[in-house]
Amino acid sequence: MRNHLKKLRNEHGWSQAELADRLDVSRQTVIALERGKYDPSLPLAFRIAKVFLLPIEQIFEPDD
């Protein structure tokens, strides 16, 4: 699954650690998410969408 986390995080001026704190996950989780090495659980995907005030579909895209 592709995502726009790094772009969104940078637009908000947040470090990986700041985003991790907002999501209640480790910085390593944010790194893995941004690199596409880890697909979030559904509850985490909803938390991410809430933090960025966007629908999940604007953050995550399925691989074709």
Residue 64, domain member (yes or no): no
Domain holding 45: CATH number? 1.10.260.40
Mean pLDDT of 25-43: 96
Query: Chain-wide mean pLDDT for the chain?
Result: 96
Residue 47, domain member (yes or no): yes
Residue 49, domain member (yes or no): yes
**Nearest Cα residue to 60 out of 37, 36, 43:** 36
- Give the domain range for residue 25: 2-53
Residue 23 has a pLDDT of 98
Mean pLDDT of 14-42: 97
Instruction: State pLDDT tens for residues 46-64.
Output: 999 999 999 999 999 988 7
**Tally of domains within the chain:** 1
How does DSSP assign 4-55, residue by residue? Answer: -HHHHHHHHT--HHHHHHHHTS-HHHHHHHHTTS-PPPHHHHHHHHHHHTS-
